[in-house]
Structure 1
Amino acid sequence: MIRNVLRLVPESHRAMVPGYLAMIVLSALAQAAAYVLLVPMLGAVLSGRVQDAWGWTAAIAGAALLVCVGGYRQSVIGIRIGIGMALSLQTRLGDHIATLPLGWFGSATAGRVSQLVSASVRDVMGVFAHLLAPMLTGVVVPVAVALGMLFVDPRVSLAMLLSAPLLYLVNRWGQGVYSRAEKRVHAAAEESDSRVIEFAQAQPVLRAFGAAGDGNAGLQGALQAQRRVGRGLVWASVPGLVVFSLLVQLTFVLLVFLAVALAAGSELSVPSAIALIAVSSRFVEPLNQSAELTTAMRGAANAADRITGLLATEPLPEPEEDPRPVDASVRFTDVRFAYDGGAPVIDGVSFEVPAGTTTALVGPSGSGKTTLLRLASRFYDVDAGEVAVGGHPIAGYRSGTLMAQFSLVFQDVYLFHQTIEENVRIGRVDATADDIARVAGIARVDEIVERLPDGWSTDVGEGGTSLSGGERQRVSIARALLKDAPIVLLDEATSALDPRNEAAVVRGLRELTRDKTVIVVAHRLSTIRHADQIVFLDAGRIVERGTHDELLAADGRYARFWNERSRASGWRLAAAAEPVGASTVVEEAR
C-alpha cells in the first residue's frame, strides 16, 4: 500500500525518507519503552517503595524526551517531503499530459485531471505530512510493548502477540471493502467535476432550453450519484471499523482478565497487576488510532495508483531523428482508424494532396472528414496504413516539427482566458505589432478591437465567452494567419460568421491559403467549386474523387450532393398572412 506512494517521492527528496522513517521508529520505540517502564515504576509506587520509583521515573522521562525529539524531527522532514511531492507531482503531471496524444483528451478529461492535480496530489502528500507517522507508530508501539512485556510477564506478552494476526486480518478485510467504495467515489467525483465545468461553460445553451437549474438532468444526476456513492463510502468504512474496534476492546478485556486472574492466584502481585492493566490500555489505544488512519492511507494509496496510472500512460512516441520536410504535400495510404476500438471511422482511405493545391473533403455527417484532418495533424495514430507529410511518415517527425507544418482552423474555437492580443499572438509569440495588425486587418479582428473599450487588452473570458461565435472564429483565423505554416487545415472555418463577415474572412482565408497546401472540410459551394481536388467520403471510404466539373459530369454521389446543396441555397423564409395572426413558412425562391 505504501510502496506506490514511496515511488512518487521526487529524486531530490528520496534521501530524506530513511531519516524520516528512522525518526518514526525511534519515537515509537521510545514511546513503547515508556509504557513498559510504567510497570516497575507503578509497582514500586503502589508497593510503597517510592525511592525505587525515582530511577524508573527518570528512565521514563528520558524515553519521553526521545519521543519529543523524534516526533519533532519526523514532522519537519515529513512536511518537507510532502510539499516537495506536491510541487513535483503537479509539475510531472503537467509535463506528462503535454506529451500525450491529443486523442487522449476527451469530454471527461477536465474532471479527471482536476481531481488528479488537486485531490489526488493532496491525498498523496498527506501521507508524509501527517498520516504515515501515526499509522506506523500505531503498529510499532503495540508490537514493541508486547515484546517488552516478555521481561515483565511472558504470559501477558504472549496474549498480546496472539491477538495481532487476528486484528491484522480484520483490518485488511475492512480496508478492502473501503478501497472498492473509495474508487467508486473518485469516479463519481470525476464525472461531477466534468458536469460542473460543463455547466459553467454552457450557460447560454442551458438557459435557452431551461436546463440551467433543476432541469439540467446531467448535472443533477452526477451530483446525486456522487452523494449516493459518498454515503456508500461511509457505510463501507463502518463494518471494518466496528469489528476492529470490538476486537481491540475484547483484547483489552482479555488482558485485564488475565492480569486479575494472575493476581487472584497469587502468581502476580496486586501492584504489578494494576500496572499491567494500565499498560494494556496503552497497548490497545494505538491500535484503534492506526485502524482509523489506515482508512485514510488506503484512500491515499488509491490516489497514488491513479497518479501512477496517468504517468504510465504512453506518451506520443518521439523519434530520435527529426527529418526535414521536403515539401508541403500530404499523403494518405490505405489508412484505417477506429475510435477506442469501435467500428472503423476511416476504412482504407488513400489519396494525395500535392504541395500548393487545395483538396476539399465532402460527404454526409459522420463520413470521416474531420477525422482525416485529425489524423493528418497526428491527434491520433492510425490503426493501419500511413499518413505522410512532406515526404516522410508523420510518426517519424518530432511533434514540434510536425505541428510547425500546420495552421489549423477548426469549427470549435477555443480562446484562452487572456486578452485578444495574447490569443492572436499564440500563432507566433515573437510576432511584432505590425505583424499582428496585418493579420487582424485580414481577418477583420481590427473591427472587434475598435468597438471594445479596452481594445487589444480586452480579456475574452474563459473559452472566449465575451465574444460571439463569429468573433471567436475571426480571432482563430488571425492567429492561423500569424503562424503562416505551409499546410492549412480548415474545418468549416466560416460556419459561425454572418454573410458580411463571411465575405471578409473568406478574403482573409484566401490570403492564408495563398501558395499553401490546403485540406478543407466544407459544405459551402464556393469553397468546393474552386478546389483542385474533391474527395467525396461516405462511411469512412472514398466514394468519388476528382475536380468539380469531372464529378458533376460523372453524375454520381457528388453530383446529387451538389444539386441538393444548390436547391437548399435557394430556400428562404417568408411571412404568410392568415386569418388569425401570421405564421412563417418556408418557400423555394424562384
Structure 2
Amino acid sequence: MIRRLLHYSSPRARRLLVTELAFIVATAVLQGVAFLLLVPLLRALFLGDMTAVRSWLIALTAVGAGYAVAFWFASQFGTKASTAVLDSLLRRLGDRLVELPIAWFGVDRSGLITGIATHGAMFVSTTPYAIVRLIITGLVTPATVLVGMFFLDWRLALAMTATVPVLWFAFRWLSTGMGRDDAEHSAAIADASNRVIEFARVQPALRTAGDNSIADHLVENALQRQHRAYRGLLITGGAGIAAFAAFVQLALTVVIVLGAYLAVGGSLEPATLIALLVLGVRFTEPIANSGALGGGVAIAKTTLNQFDDLYNLTPLPEPDRPATPKDWGVTFDGVTFGYGGPAVLRQLSFTAPTGTMTAIVGPSGSGKTTIVKLIARFYDPEAGTVAVGGIPVPELGTAVVEAAVAPVFQDVYLFDDTILNNVWIGNPDLSRKDVIAAATRARVDEIAARLPGGWDARVGEGGSNLSGGERQRVSIARALLKDAPIILLDEATAALDIGNEIAIGDTLDAIRADRTVIVVAHRLQTIMTADQIIMLNDHGGIEEAGTHTELLAATGPYARYWRERVDATGWQLTRR
C-alpha cells in the first residue's frame, strides 16, 4: 500500500512520508529494545542484585528517552505528511478527471467521485500514521524482541518463531476478507449516493408519479444494498479480528507451556522464566493490536484501487504537436460509431462549410446528438474520420477542439452562482460590460430584470431557480460569449417560447457569417433558415440532404416530415 501511496504523492509528500516511516520504524525498534531490557532488569530484581538493577535502569531510561524523541518526530512528520498526501491525492484526482474523455461521465459518477474526494482520500491520507504506524509497531517491535530473545533463550525464541507463519497467514486472511467486503461496500455507497442525488434533482417529475414511483424503489433498493454490504463488512471484520486474536493467544500459550516445561525440568531459572514470560506477553500484544488494524489498511486500499481504475482508463489519443486547421468547416467521412454496441451512425458522410448553418433532423435514435458529441470530441469514431478544417480531430487534439467548439445541449446545467457569472464562465477575460452585452443578445436581460438582485441573482443548484427555457438562454449566452468558431446546438431552443426562439435565431443569423453552426432541431423556424439540411434515417445514414426549398420540391421523406410538423403546430384544442 505504501508503494502505491508514494506513486500518487507529490515529491514533497513522498519525502515527508518516507521520513515519517523512518521515525516510525525507529520507535518500533527502540520499543523492542526496551522490552528486551526488561528481562535482565526483572531477573536482577528477583535475584536482589541492586547494582545490576541500577545499571539496567539507566540503560532502559536512555532507550526510553530515545523512543520519546523518535516518537515526537514521527508524530510531527506524520501530521505534515497526512496533509501533503491529502493535497496530492485531491490534485491527482482533479488532474485525472480533466484528462478523461467526456464519454466517461455519460454515466452518473457523482457518488464514486464524491466518495473518493471526501471519505476515501481523507482516510488514505491519515492511514500511514493512524494505522500503518501501529501495524509497523506490531511487526517490527515483536521482530526486535524475537531477535533479542535468541540471545536470552534460544528454545523459547524458536517456539515464538514457529508461530510467526501462522500469525502471518491469519493476518493476510483477515486483510483480504475485509478488503473484499469493503470494495463491495464502497460500490454500494456510490450507487446509493447516485440514487439519492438523482432522487433530489428530479423531485418535480417524481411527485407527479405518486408515492409508489419506480424512483422510490430504486433508492430503497440501493440503500438496502448498502446496509447489507455494511453488515457483511462488520461480520467479516468482527469474526476475523476474533479469530486472529485467538491465534495470537495460542502463540502465547505455546510459549507459556514450553517455558513451564523447561522450568520444571530445571533447565531454566524461575526468575528468568518470569522475565521471559513478561517478554512473551509484550511480544504478542502488538501483534494482536495490528490484527484489528489490518482491515483498516484493506479499506484504504479500496480507495487506491479506485485511483488505479481511473488511471488505467484509456484517454483519447492526443498528438505530440497539435495541427492547425485551415478553416472551421466540419467534415464527416464514412463515420461509423455505436457507443461500444450496435452502430448508431453507419458510413455517415457530409460537410458543414465555414460560415454556414447546417440543420440535422430525423427520427429519435437516428444519431443526431451523436453527431454533435463526435464533433465536440466526446468520443472518436470507430471507423471513418471527423475532421475540422481538413484535419482529423485526433490530430488537432482535445484542447484545440474544446477551444474551437461551443456546444449547447438540451440538458443544461448551471452552477449555483449568479446569472452573470454563469454567462461569464464562457470567457472569463471579458469585462462585466461585455458579458452583459452578450447575455442581452440571448435575452438573458429579461431574466435578470425579473429576479431580485438582477444580474447578481443566484440561479440555484443546477439552475433550479430558473425555468427550462431560461436555463437554455443562459447556456446559449455562455456559448455566444465564448466566441468559438464552431457552434453546436443540440435542441438548444426546444424549451424557448416562439418570441425568444426568434430572438436567438436572429442572433445566430448575425454571427454565422464567419462561423460553422450545426443545429439539431425540430422547430420549423430554425430548420427552414439553415443553409443545408441533413435528414437522417433509422439506420444512422443520410436519407436526404439539401436546402429547405430543394427538399420540399423533391417531395421525399423531408417533405413529409415538414408537412407533419406544420400540421402538428396547427393543432388546437377546442370546446364543444
| TM-score class normalised by the smaller sequence | over 0.9
Is 1:241 aligned to residue 241 of structure 2? yes
Equivalent pair of 1:26/1:66 in contact (CA under 8 Å): no
Deviation at 1:164, TM superposition (A): 0.2
Structure with more helix by fraction: 2
Structure 2 residues not aligned, in runs of 5+: none
In structure 2, the residue matched to 1:322 is 322
Q: CA RMSD in A?
A: 2.0
CA distance in 1, matches of 2:221, 2:508: 44
Equivalent pair of 2:361/2:522 in contact (CA under 8 Å): yes
In structure 1, the residue matched to 2:388 is 389
In structure 1, the residue matched to 2:486 is 487
Equivalent pair of 1:79/1:128 in contact (CA under 8 Å): no
What TM-score comes out, normalization by structure 2 length? 0.95
Distance 1:402 1:183, change over 3 A: same
CA offset digits 1:307-346 (Å, max 9, x no partner): 133234334433232333322211001111121x211122
Is 1:196 aligned to residue 196 of structure 2? yes
CA distance in 1, matches of 2:475, 2:368: 20
CA distance in 1, matches of 2:160, 2:349: 75
Equivalent pair of 2:20/2:81 in contact (CA under 8 Å): no
CA distance in 2, matches of 1:230, 1:174: 16
Equivalent pair of 1:93/1:311 in contact (CA under 8 Å): no
CA distance in 2, matches of 1:163, 1:67: 28
In structure 1, the residue matched to 2:552 is 552
SS in 1 for 2:458: coil
Equivalent pair of 1:408/1:480 in contact (CA under 8 Å): yes
Deviation at 1:531, TM superposition (A): 2.2
Superposed, 1:145-294 pairs within 5 Å as 145-210=145-210, 216-294=216-294
CA distance in 1, matches of 2:284, 2:123: 27
CA offset digits 1:17-72 (Å, max 9, x no partner): 44333222221111111112211211121223333222122222222222211111
Equivalent pair of 1:74/1:133 in contact (CA under 8 Å): no
Equivalent pair of 2:417/2:460 in contact (CA under 8 Å): yes
CA distance in 2, matches of 1:215, 1:337: 31
CA offset digits 1:542-565 (Å, max 9, x no partner): 222222333334433323322322
In structure 1, the residue matched to 2:444 is 445
CA distance in 2, matches of 1:72, 1:556: 84
In structure 2, the residue matched to 1:529 is 528
Deviation at 1:510, TM superposition (A): 2.9
In structure 2, the residue matched to 1:9 is 9
CA offset digits 1:405-431 (Å, max 9, x no partner): 222221111111111111111222222
Deviation at 1:149, TM superposition (A): 0.9
CA distance in 2, matches of 1:198, 1:257: 62
Structure 1 residues not aligned, in runs of 5+: 577-590
Deviation at 1:265, TM superposition (A): 1.5
CA offset digits 1:113-134 (Å, max 9, x no partner): 1112122211221222322211
In structure 2, the residue matched to 1:409 is 408
CA distance in 2, matches of 1:214, 1:100: 32
Distance 1:215 1:307, change over 3 A: closer
In structure 2, the residue matched to 1:571 is 571
Moved more, 371-380 or 563-572: 563-572
Equivalent pair of 1:335/1:347 in contact (CA under 8 Å): yes
CA offset digits 1:405-463 (Å, max 9, x no partner): 22222111111111111111122222234423332332211111112221111111111
Deviation at 1:213, TM superposition (A): 9.8
CA distance in 1, matches of 2:210, 2:298: 42
CA offset digits 1:497-535 (Å, max 9, x no partner): 223333333333333434432211111122222322221
In structure 2, the residue matched to 1:34 is 34
Distance 1:37 1:434, change over 3 A: closer
Superposed, 1:399-478 pairs within 5 Å as 399-478=398-477
CA distance in 2, matches of 1:483, 1:150: 75
SS in 2 for 1:259: helix
Which residue identity is paired with 1:392? I
SS in 2 for 1:575: coil
Deviation at 1:297, TM superposition (A): 0.8
Distance 1:489 1:43, change over 3 A: same
In structure 2, the residue matched to 1:352 is 351
Moved more, 138-147 or 562-571: 562-571
CA distance in 2, matches of 1:539, 1:574: 39
In structure 1, the residue matched to 2:49 is 49
SS in 2 for 1:572: coil
SS in 1 for 2:349: strand
CA distance in 1, matches of 2:440, 2:39: 89
Which residue identity is paired with 2:565? R
Moved more, 1-10 or 376-385: 1-10
CA distance in 2, matches of 1:213, 1:493: 29
In structure 2, the residue matched to 1:102 is 102
Distance 1:180 1:523, change over 3 A: same
Deviation at 1:216, TM superposition (A): 1.7
Superposed, 1:133-144 pairs within 5 Å as 133-144=133-144
Aligned pairs, number: 575
Deviation at 1:147, TM superposition (A): 1.4
Equivalent pair of 1:96/1:315 in contact (CA under 8 Å): no
In structure 2, the residue matched to 1:579 is none
Moved more, 41-50 or 292-301: 41-50
CA distance in 2, matches of 1:18, 1:490: 52
What TM-score comes out, normalization by structure 1 length? 0.93
SS in 2 for 1:302: helix
CA distance in 1, matches of 2:369, 2:303: 36
Moved more, 399-408 or 62-71: 399-408
In structure 2, the residue matched to 1:365 is 364
Equivalent pair of 2:356/2:512 in contact (CA under 8 Å): no
Runs of 4+ in 1 over 6 A off after TM superposition: 212-215
